[in-house]
Chains A and B, each alone.
Chain A
Amino acid sequence: MSENAITRRSFLAGSAGVAAVAAGAGFMSFGAWEQADASGTKDVESHTAYSLCNSCSSKCGFKGYVVDGKLTKMIGEPSHPHCEGTLCGRAYGYASIAYSEDRLTDPLKKNAKGEFEKISWDQAYSEIAEKVKSIIGSDGPEALAMVQDPRPSGSYYTKRFMQALGSANVYTHGAACNMSKNSGFTQVIGAGDYLADVENAKACMFIGRSYADAIRPSQLHALEKAHENGAYIVLVDPRLNNSIAFADEWLPINPGTDLALVLAMSHVLVDRGLYDKKFVSEQATGFDEWAATLGQYTPEWAAEITGLKAIDIERVAVKFAECAPAACIEPSWRGAYGCSYANSGETARAVACFNGLLGCWNQKGGALFSASVKAGDVDKAKFPSVPKVEAKIAGQSEYPLSLSGMGVNVYAAQLAKEGKMKGMFFYNSNMVAGYSNPAYLQECLANLELSVCIDVQMTETCHACDYVLPDTSYLERLELPEFYGGKIPAVAIRDQVIEKVHPNTKPVDQIFSELADACGVGQYFDFTVEELADAQLKTVGLSLDGLRACGVSTFPEKAFKYGSYPKWKTPSGKFQFASDACEKAGLPRTPQWLEPAVAVPEDGKSFRLIGGKQAIHTHTQTADCEPLMAITKQYGLERVWMNAQRAEELGISDGDTVEVSNEQHTGKVQVKVTQRINPDALYMPSHYGCSSKEEKTAYGVGLRQMDYVPFRIEPGYGGICSQEAVVTVKKVGA
């Protein structure tokens, strides 16, 4: 908790400064608004603390205002690189999770009848530790796995805990998010991701990525700036997403065919000699090999597949060449090729290659390798190194192109089903509801000897586990510092904002430290999170107290500089149009057209089921949060989107209840009939269909996209193929 607890009176003196700043902007009289409210003149206990939002992976910084122990206001931190002073709609609403009626308050254990009973922490630790030891004894530490959605402390403690046990099997949610994309990029540029310099771009293409729907405020600011500067912004998406406010064109592509579009645009550039020849000859390898195959990928060929017009494809490609190097295809996130199709990894590879043709790498307005800062080595005596685990993360051999830092989490589940994985931990991860396929994943988890879920609410994954441990919410704990890459690297702190709401919950650092102790590896956790945070910050010239006082610190001396091409950390040391590793993994050496695994039959009633974020939700994580779900309910955001023409053909009207079904699942939901979607696609927002009754706010609202997606792993890359699903739709009662 921050030490700067102050009374209201002194606080007002502080706010006068804010008012003065506002006055400078022409709002002279707002300070005078201070009303003589009777309750407002009392001395109430108030303080502020800096924290990081937990409603998505962006971890935006904010200052929390606490009055009488309760969080009141949240102000986006102007110096935070991801929010730049404005938070998104989720941030304000998700904070109420701390006070949710549906919080987990005590450790739970599933009994023989399948019901959960409260147990003590000691019992939980000792029983879990006993099972861990028995699994290690019989099957070795490689029969244990961890799945976690990375958060500042969580990433560190989960990994250290597993490594201390001798297991390399630490998975992020990546395979169900952005792994295919990052792995595909890696084959070309030797890095998992890059940064589109949107605000300085002359042209920028977004494929399945919407800054206005899956919001990181700083990106939205950049997009708005680019639009105001007259940049040519094009959205490639089966859905007209809300970024259209700042875009020039929507290419309503058939879902799963982005690869064909990128190949055809590459064809245009190569065919007409519009690519950056200097970049290609100096920096790249395999260009001729790829160029020789591009002849077949004409705009006319792509038009057939993508549903777009050949002249549009050609026009857009030429426009990008004209704007190069201040042009690129934005790297996207989960969107269209993070984990969506059997061709996602290859789509990512083609995207990176296209950016290579533009020669935009590290050029102003192009694709940048962001600068980063990391904590250095800390005192080994206080924070002893965990012995290196020699084994590879399970799934690495089967999916050789998957990034080991993320791992194929669903493969670990598959091993559980096969009886080879014996124990799994889940931290801040709702694998069962969020990854495909829930029914299958439940079976996988049911097969485990040990399954432990650590979360704040009773998620579907909690239900599938034997032990459930109650985490504190992000507002109730200090976490390790979070380092951010970008044009100017930064570090920020998630400090404790409010006291624990439920006394028997524990923060993640404490849970894993105590669990490690019970498992006999406590020697690696003999420090507090404060000590480690301070030690990490000392390595970059800061201190915990210092960062607590300001929330965010930047490293301008490490800022990114335009101009010189990046250092390619590929096996060849070059920008790779061709990849040996891909060839070894059974894929073409250069990006080639690859059909999605599932085709949509032209029977008039079938659709490809696509997902995607809405601005107020993140996956299934925010659904059981009243302020956010209230919006969903008021505006019917759980409705599936159907193209108006298709709806007419099927006799479906806006607001009708329809039955969506395929071999995996059948369910009913209302439909939004709209002009904003490709006729082949049915959009089902990715946040709904919660099946955990304990999540009272979310339970039973809408359908769950993942229920319809069969369990499938993308060859080579390991993505979950989240949009390889076809459904039929009919009106209920028709």
Chain B
Amino acid sequence: MARYGMLINTKKCIGCYACRTACQRQNGLDPTDSFIRFEEREVGEYPSVSVEHVPLQCMHCEDAPCASVCPTGAAHIGPDGIVEVDQGRCIGCLYCMAACPYQVRNRNEKTGAVDKCRFCNVSNYTSGTEMCSCVTACPTGARIFGDLDDPDCELVKEIAATHAAPIAGDLTKSKVYYVR
């Protein structure tokens, strides 16, 4: 069993939305259905100003509020720690969306079911993408994916080197780490 996680280096993020459109394309999502959300933050005053882009997506929390509130068991923590939504079980009550503190879940306009980043675990059956589309698509390499339990993987090394941390500390035991 792996414990998959991701690192997003906001110092390399240029806010270009390539991760979003790649995710939509490779996962066959509708135009308004997006698994990645962006926050933009300006710091300072003209002309000494800087900007930070923060892409947010399902944090695959170990203490996942969505999974604990879901009445039908559609939202659950699956193998390898990937938080999943069983589309066939979801009734669309949106309890998970109300409980998620990161605003990274969407209701699919057509089916009414809730969906969100899957770490691309169900997307690759027609292949072409060997892992998370957002990671392979990022033109600046701002994202790294890997197994948090594997001390030799690039992800773990990079988290250590950059002191990356979940966006909201240990709030929900998130597995997406940010360099900010």
Contact = CB atoms under 8 A, between A and B. Distances in A.
- A and B touching (Cβ–Cβ under 8 A): yes
A92 interface: yes
B45 A627 contact: no
B151 to A, nearest CB: 11
Contact of B16 (A14, A74, A615): A615
Interface string A622-634: 0000111111001
A644 interface: yes
A26 B139 contact: no
A93 B21 contact: yes
Q: Interface residues of A toward B: which range?
A: 35 or more
Contact of A34 (B53, B125, B128, B147): B125
A215 B139 contact: yes
A381 interface: no
A65 to B, nearest CB: 5
Interface string B1-26: 01000000001111111111110111
Given A35-B122, A37-B125, A615-B14, A27 B20 contact: no
A665 interface: no
A89 B51 CA distance: 20
Interface string B109-140: 00000000000111011111111000011111
Contacts of A40: 125-126
A280 B47 CA distance: 36
A242 B25 CA distance: 24
A29 interface: yes
A33 B2 CA distance: 11
A89 B16 contact: yes
Contact of B42 (A31, A96, A626, A675): A675
A666 interface: no
Contacts of B147: 29
B153 interface: yes
A734 interface: no
B137 A240 contact: no
A93 B25 contact: yes
Interface string A168-196: 00000000000000000000000000000
Contacts of B16: 88-89, 212-213, 215, 242, 615-616
Interface core residue of B19, B38, B130 (most chain A CB under 10 Å): B130
Interface in A17-74: 18-19, 21-22, 25-27, 29-31, 33-35, 37, 39-40, 44, 46, 48, 63, 65, 67, 72-74
Given A92-B25, A250-B47, A675-B44, A630 B125 contact: no
Contacts, number: 177
B169 interface: no
A677 B127 CA distance: 43
A475 interface: no
B21 A35 contact: no
Contacts of B50: 244
B57 to A, nearest CB: 15
A591 interface: no
Contact of B124 (A26, A33, A48, A630): A33
B12 A30 contact: no
15 contacts: A22-B131, A30-B131, A39-B125, A46-B126, A48-B128, A75-B128, A89-B16, A91-B21, A240-B49, A243-B14, A250-B47, A615-B15, A616-B16, A627-B31, A675-B49
Sort A-B residue pairs by CB-CB distance and give the 9 closest, nearest first: A40-B125, A92-B25, A615-B16, A15-B127, A626-B31, A212-B14, A89-B18, A92-B21, A73-B128
Interface of B: 2, 11-22, 24-26, 28, 31-32, 34, 38, 42, 44-47, 49-51, 53, 120-122, 124-131, 136-141, 145-147, 152-154
Interface of A: 8, 11-12, 14-15, 18-19, 21-22, 25-27, 29-31, 33-35, 37, 39-40, 44, 46, 48, 63, 65, 67, 72-76, 86-93, 95-96, 212-213, 215, 217, 220-221, 224, 240, 242-246, 250, 252, 615-616, 626-631, 634-635, 643-645, 674-677, 679
Given A213-B16, A244-B50, A679-B46, 9 more contacts: A22-B131, A86-B139, A87-B139, A92-B24, A95-B25, A252-B46, A627-B21, A630-B32, A675-B42
